[in-house]
Structure 1
Amino acid sequence: MEKETYLGVDVSPLSYDEIITDLKSRMIQGEQSTIIAVNPEKVMAAKSNSELRSLINGSTYQIPDGIGVLLASKLKGGSIRSRVTGVDMMERLIRFAAEDGYKVFLYGAKQEVVETAKQKLEEKYPGLNISGIENGYVKDQDELINKINQSEADFLFVAMGSPRQELWIRENMKKLNVKVFQGVGGSFDVFSGKVKRAPLFYRKLGIEWLYRLMKEPSRMKRQLALPKFLLRILFTK
């Protein structure tokens, strides 16, 4: 697939449905796939961090999670027309798994959070088979790998924060029989009901960042990555 590149970081221009269509083909062929969310903050960090840049560019799908990536594509005449957020991508994959009979494993977060996320997802999607869960505090990694393989999971969602979760996936994916890996940050908190997403109005406009900033003014320093990113894009050929 043709990808767009911003400040040395690749971004996949595919929509949710296009990613799932492509994944279906890759799964049939027995290929493993990884999904990583890309936003301006991550791009700016990757600009000066070659390991992070390599981690992002080495993924199968780099989804345009941030509104800044969408704006960058428009500024440069790219083909990205909508955001593909990490939490919504996870939910689309969960629905796909439920409809097509695939198994899911949830790894990360606190025990009560991952347990509640499992319960609520299975209630929302009848037929969904979450064949295993594990909190993010497990010490014995070999035991964890065995547990995931014994669950026969096709999808593995890892919630440990970025880039830690993606580094874990890269380090362990060849030991696992999983077909699709996604690092999902705080998504288990959302699905468990512990954390509320921004109202739909903010999500449709792509300004969830503004809602979070109003709720948590301490995020201001992180949000400065957006204007810095767009200025870099404007003055980069």
Structure 2
Amino acid sequence: MRVVMNTRSSLAHVDFTRQTFCLLGLPFDALTMPAIIDKLKQAIAQRQPCFLSTPNLNFLVNCLDDTAFRNSVLVSDLSIADGMPIVWLARILGLPITERTSGSDLFDCLRQSPGHHIRLFFLGGMDGVAESACRVLNADSSSAINAVGYLSPGFGSIQDMSSDEMINTINATQADFLLIALGAKKGQAWVMHNRHKLNVPVMSHLGAVINFVAGHVKRAPKYIQRLGLEWLWRIYQEPALWQRYYHDGLRFLKLLLLNIVPYWFWQQTHRTLLAQTELAKVDIIEQSGAAVLVLSGTCTHATIEPIRQALTRIATSYSTIRFDLAKVSVMDSSFIGLCLLAYSHCFKQAGELVFLNVSSEQRRIFTWHCAEFLLTHKDF
């Protein structure tokens, strides 16, 4: 491996060791619930920022048409599958995303976990809901989560909800976890707008949780959750949701037929190549102030460790990354997931992400993953 480094100052950290897989344009971390809990607790203990996103089917569908919404997931520090359709797709494609990790389950596990108590701040919800959630949470003496404050800003714009007074109110509580309930798009956008001003380590939009904690909405019984039919229960509880689920379901079927099935057939015809374990080769050169990664061989989950290491080495020195794919024989969802991490790095650093010498087959693979946006020259 040949590396040519420049002298740029250290850049914000992106963890290229994350085991992420691309599903329909979004990254998903292949983590079990205990591993997620450990990462969140570690972020709290070290006071390190951790933006947690929990994409479900509605996220997937809306991110296809909303670049800002998609970017909010791509720059997250953790992205976990909150929806059985995502788990089903992962199983079809043989990805190690084996369980649904809903925001509600995650919150319950944190609430029941032993050790240091977590200071929680609620932002959002209907009038009175956050207050009720705080009261219920603090009345539970066995809970590992303690509510230290809440704000219910109503239905204003992102700017209206981002005043210095609001940010200072949140920071003054020294909260460990900021739980946001403003609607998925607005909640993600609020984090993107304000995360650099907040001193809270963990922040996440977990909109339904605040209603469950407050007792304003009852969660589906466990057997319904296990069957992947919690969406039916949500419609029963909130009938207005049926239109959203109907639209998402139709879009899901279309994606299944036009993206997932063709990629699955491609996997079957390339099993020998995909099974190879020889590590990918990486040559790193500097070209017009950018780091060019010239890749060779197979780029799959079993072979891309050298690419992870190369990206880690160059991240502190380069905001612009170029992947040369001319000598890549095959790639998979794990490699595209790694490309999404590179996109996140370039986005955060206002740099460029460019792919060179992309073959027609490689372009099809990116398209099946709804990641063709990566192949467009990205000058942030």
State the TM-score, normalizing by the size of structure 2: 0.58
Partners of 2:225 and 2:232 in 1: CA distance: 10
**Contact 1:39/1:65 (8 A) holds in 2:** yes
Q: Give the deviation of 1:176 after TM superposition.
A: 1.2
Contact persistence 1:6–1:233 (CA under 8 A): no
Matched, 1:233 2:260: yes
Secondary structure of 2:149's counterpart equals: strand
Letter in 1 for 2:233: Y
CA shift for structure 1 position 71: 0.8
Task: Give the distance between the partners of 2:235 and 2:147, measured in 1 at CA.
Answer: 34
Q: Distance in 2 between matches of 1:226 and 1:197?
A: 24
CA contact (8 A) 1:44 1:229 kept: no
- The answer to whether the 8 A contact 1:68-1:229 is kept is no
1:150 equivalent in alignment to 2:177: no
Listed one character per residue, the Cα deviations across residues 125-169 of structure 1 (whole Å, up to 9, x for unaligned) are 536421111113285621111111111101100100111101111
2:125 and 2:42 mapped to 1: Cα distance? 31
Aligned residue for 2:52, secondary structure, equals strand
101, 124, 133: which one aligns with 1:108: 124
The change in CA–CA distance for 1:191 and 1:65 in structure 2 (over 3 A counts) is same
2:61–2:248 CA contact under 8 A, matched in 1: no
Indicate the larger mover: 175-184 or 48-57.
Answer: 48-57
Which residue matches 2:200? 178
Aligned to 1:196: 218
Kindly provide the amino acid, as one letter, of the partner of residue 206 in structure 1. G
Deviation at 1:16, TM superposition (A): 1.7
How far apart are the structure 2 equivalents of 1:110 and 1:49? 25
Q: In the alignment, which residue of structure 1 is the partner of 2:47?
A: 30
Q: Which residue of 1 aligns with 2:71?
A: 54
Structure 2: segments with no counterpart, 5+ residues: 1-17, 264-364, 366-380
Q: Tell me the amino acid that sits aligned with residue 255 of structure 2.
A: F
Shift of 1:39: 1.7
Deviations 1:38-91 (A, max 9, x none): 122321221232222211111111110111110111111100111001222223
Q: CA deviation at 1:214?
A: 5.2
Report the alpha carbon displacement of residue 116 of structure 1 after superposing the two structures with TM. 1.0
Report how far residue 211 of structure 1 moved.
Answer: 2.8
CA distance in 2, matches of 1:27, 1:164: 24
Partner of 1:220: 246
Q: Is 2:24 aligned against 1:7?
A: yes
- Structure 1: runs of 5 or more not aligned: none
How many positions carry a matched residue from both structures? 236
Partner deviation per Cα, 1:20-42 (whole Å, 9 max, x = no partner) = 11223333443200111112232
The answer to which structure has the higher helix fraction is: 1
Q: Deviations over 1:172-198 (max 9, x none)?
A: 111111000010123211111111112
Task: Output the aligned Cα RMSD.
Answer: 2.1
Write the mapping of 1:94-105 to structure 2, written as runs, cut at 5 A: 94-96=111-113, 99-105=115-121
Deviation for aligned residue 1:213: 4.1
Residue number in structure 1 paired with 2:15: none
Is structure 2 residue 136 aligned with structure 1 residue 120? yes
Give, as a single letter, the amino acid of the residue that structure 1 aligns with 2:260: I
What is the alpha-carbon distance in structure 2 between the residues aligned to residue 88 and residue 229 of structure 1? 27
Letter in 2 for 1:63: I
CA contact (8 A) 1:63 1:86 kept: no
- Identify which range, 67-76 or 26-35, moves more after superposition: 26-35
Query: What amino acid maps onto 1:223 in structure 2?
Result: G
What is the CA–CA distance in structure 2 between the aligned matches of 1:186 and 1:136, rounded to whole Å?
17
Compare CA radii of gyration and give the structure with the larger one. Answer: 2
User: What CA distance in whole angstroms lies between the structure 1 residues aligned with 2:92 and 2:175?
Assistant: 40
Indicate the residue corresponding to 1:78 in structure 2. Answer: 95
**AA matched with 2:247:** K
Residue 106 of structure 2 corresponds to residue 89 of structure 1: yes
Output the CA distance in 2 between the equivalents of 1:100 and 1:227.
44
